[in-house]
Amino acid sequence: MTHWEDFYNTHLPPADFEDNRSLLKEFCERHNKLQNRIVLVTSGGTTVPLEHNTVRFVDNFSAGTRGSASAEYFLDHDYAVIFMHRHKSLEPFTRHFTGQQFFDMLDIADIADGQSSTIAIKPDSVDVFAPVLAKYKIARETQMILYVSFTSVVDYMWLLRAACECLAAFEERAVLYLAAAVSDFYIPEDMMVMRMLNYLSSIVSLQPTHKMQSGDGAPTISLQLVPKMLAPLASLWVPLAYVVSFKLETDENLLIVKARDSLNKYKHKLVIANVLQTRKHRVVFVTPTDSYEVHLSREQAHQGLEIEEPIVADVVQKHSEFILSAQQRQ
C-alpha cells in the first residue's frame, strides 16, 4: 500500500482544486467566526480511472442518498454543512425531484397576448414542492451550505485533506461524517496508460503493480491499495473533531467485527455500520464502548420516513455530549 504522504506527492490535485480550496477556506472562516458547529458530509462514490485521458473507469454503486439526505438533517440542527459529493450524484433538496419528476410537476400556459408563456407548479404539487424549496432558499441565503464535488478517488483525497485543513480550527465543534463510498484500490498515475484501452480484461489482480499491458489482446490491470486516509485524518489533520466513519458490508456477520477493527485502528469516535441490502432501514452505531441498532419499522418506512433523520439526530446528540465533556476537561 502507498503511504499517504507518497500518495499526495505522486498524484496531482484536480484542475479545480485551488478554487475549491478558496471556497472551503472562506466558508470555514466565516462559520468559525460565528462559532457555529460545522459538519463535513462526504457523499457518493469515487471512480478509479483506467487511463490518463479517461474514457473508462471503475465506478462505485453509491448514489449519494445517505449523504444528501443527511446534509438536509444537519441543516435542520443548525450545522453549517460542507457537502462534498461525487459530481452528478444526489444533492440535498434537488434529490426529492429527480429525473422527469420535476417536469411532471410543471404546467405551461399561453398568455392572452399569444406571444409568451408562463410556467407554474401544478396546484397538486405545491404542497410537496414548496417546503423543500423554502428550506433550500434559507440554506442558500444564510450561506449554511457549501457544495464541492469530486469524481475520482484522487480528487476525493485532495479535497478531503483541504477540507480538514480548514476544519481543524473548529476543534471539537467539527463533525466529519464520512458516508462516501471510497474505492479501496486504484491505478497509480505512473502505471496508467495514456490512451484508451482497447479491451478490458476480466483479470483484475491485487498483486504489486506493474504497468498495464495493452495491445491487441486483453490487457491485465493491476490495482494498488489506496492508503487509509482515516489514519492521518483522525490523528493529525483534525485530532479534536468528532469523526464518524461509515462501514459497508455485504456479510452481516462481519459488520460489528469490522467496525470495531476500524475504531481500534484509527481511534475515532463512531462507526456507523450498514449492510448493502438493508442500509435504507437499518444501521448499527458502534462506539468504543457500545453498539446499538437504529432502524425504521416497516410502517415508518411506508410513511416516507428516512433513516437519516434518526441517524443524524443521534450523531448530533453524541456530538453535543462530546463538546460538553471537552469543555468540562478545560
Chain contacts with ligand PAZ (rule: CB under 6 A):
62-66, 179, 181-182, 246-248, 274, 279
Q: How far is the CB of 61 from ligand PAZ (least distance, A)?
A: 7
C-alpha cell at 22: 478558496
Distance from C-alpha of 173 to C-alpha of 275, rounded to nearest angstrom: 30
As measured in angstroms, the least distance from the Cβ of 261 to ligand PAZ is 12
Smallest distance from ligand PAZ to CB 91, Å: 12
For 136-178, the DSSP string reads HHHHHHTT-EEEEEE-BHHHHHHHHHHHHHHHGGGGGGEEEEE
- Minimal distance, residue 228 CB to ligand PAZ, in Å: 11
Nearer to ligand PAZ, 27 or 83 (CB): 83
SS3 labels along 16-45? CHHHHHHHHHHHHHHHHHCCCCEEEEEECE
CA 170 to CA 175: how far, in whole Å? 9
- Give the nearer residue to ligand PAZ in terms of CB position, either 65 or 222: 65
The C-alpha cell that represents 62 in the structure block: 453509491
Q: How far is CA 120 from the centre of its chain?
A: 34
CB of 44 to ligand PAZ, least distance (A): 6
* Alpha carbon distance 178, 258 (integer Å): 16
Whether 81 contacts 146, CB under 8 Å? yes
Shortest Cβ 274–ligand PAZ spacing (Å): 5
Which is closer to ligand PAZ, CB of 172 or CB of 249? 249
User: Amino acid letter at 252?
Assistant: E
Check the CA dihedral 136-141-142-143 and report its sign. positive
Query: Between 25 and 258, whose beta carbon lies closer to ligand PAZ?
Result: 258
Q: Minimum Å distance from CB 57 to ligand PAZ?
A: 17
**Nearer to ligand PAZ among residue 222 and residue 274 (C-beta):** 274
* d(C-alpha 24, C-alpha 211), whole Å: 36
Considering the complex, state which of residue 73 and residue 246 has its C-beta at the smaller distance from ligand PAZ: 246
21 or 247, CB closer to ligand PAZ?
A: 247
For ligand PAZ, give the closer residue by CB, 45 or 232. Answer: 45
Q: What is the DSSP string of 240-252?
A: TSEEEEEEEES-G
How far lies 71's CA from each of 7, 41, 80, 202, 203, in Å? 29, 7, 9, 38, 38
Minimum distance of ligand PAZ from residue 65's CB (angstroms): 3
At 232, list the grid cell.
492521518
